[in-house]
Amino acid sequence: MISPARVRPTFPDVRVRLFGANDAVALRDGFASGSISDLTRFMFPRSVAETVERLRQSKETTRFAIVVGGKFVGICTLRVPLFSGKELTIGIFDEAYHGRGIGTHVIRKVCAYGFKKLKLHRIELGVYPNNTRAIRCYTRCGFQREALLRKLLYNDGEYRDIIWMSLLRNEWASYDRHW
């Protein structure tokens, strides 16, 4: 298990709150920038109207805004899983906010919400094998690799493998004590 020693983001004032309709423009702009399109499975850009409509329709997804110093910098979701529990997704759009402990902090908060409030037994996620930063971050949050899903997704001109990871309720309970 990776040490959970460094748990504080190096930015002050990092907040995780429920996503609201007012965040739709910032969300659309984030995806439209293309900054994370090769690392995620979101097929954007979409118009603001489409973004709002999509948010309205997918009622089984809980969305969280990642806010730093009052600025919307990314989104984290718990959505319908591929296998079981809920699937966690996360994207911080601006590179200036990467590698500063924000993702770890957000995932920790969102997992606590999932296990405590939603009473989940499992949170799962998929990540491209070359996304070493994300894999380190997930591992530090207690996620374990469970499979390589071969050529699962077509993105950026090729079929790509996905590493599948999960965190179970009992693992989170023992892991969370250390935070």
Ligand X SMILES: CC(C)(COP(=O)(O)OP(=O)(O)OC[C@H]1O[C@@H](n2cnc3c(N)ncnc32)[C@H](O)[C@@H]1OP(=O)(O)O)[C@@H](O)C(=O)NCCC(=O)NCCS
Sheet holding 62-68, edge to edge: 14-18, 62-68, 71-79, 86-92, 122-127, 158-168, 144-155
Backbone angles phi, psi at 14, to 5 degrees: -95, 125
CB of 92 to ligand X, least distance (A): 4
Candidates 19-27, 50-58, 96-104, 168-176; binding stretch for ligand X (CB under 6 A):
96-104
Figure out which of the listed residues 54, 71, 133, 151 binds ligand X, where binding follows CB under 6 A. 133
Figure out which of the listed residues 84, 132, 170, 174 binds ligand X, where binding follows CB under 6 A. 132
Candidates 13-21, 94-102, 148-156, 170-178; binding stretch for ligand X (CB under 6 A):
94-102
By beta-carbon distance, which residue lies closest to ligand X? 103
- What is the maximal distance between C-alpha atoms in the chain? 44
Is-contact 107 138, C-beta < 8 A? yes
Q: Residue 54 — left, alpha, or beta (φ > 0 → left; ψ -120 to 50 → alpha)? A: alpha
Figure out which of the listed residues 30, 85, 91, 142 binds ligand X, where binding follows CB under 6 A. 91
Of residues 48 through 77, those in contact with ligand X by CB under 6 A are 74
Residue 110 interacts with ligand X (CB under 6 A): yes or no: no
Residue 101 interacts with ligand X (CB under 6 A): yes or no: yes
* Distances from the Cα of 36 to the Cα of 44, 46, 50, 133, angstroms: 10, 15, 19, 13
Figure out which of the listed residues 140, 142, 164, 165 binds ligand X, where binding follows CB under 6 A. 140
Distance CA 179, CA 173 (A): 11
Can you give the binding site for ligand X, defined by CB under 6 A? Answer: 6, 36, 39-40, 74, 90-92, 98-104, 127, 131-134, 136-137, 140
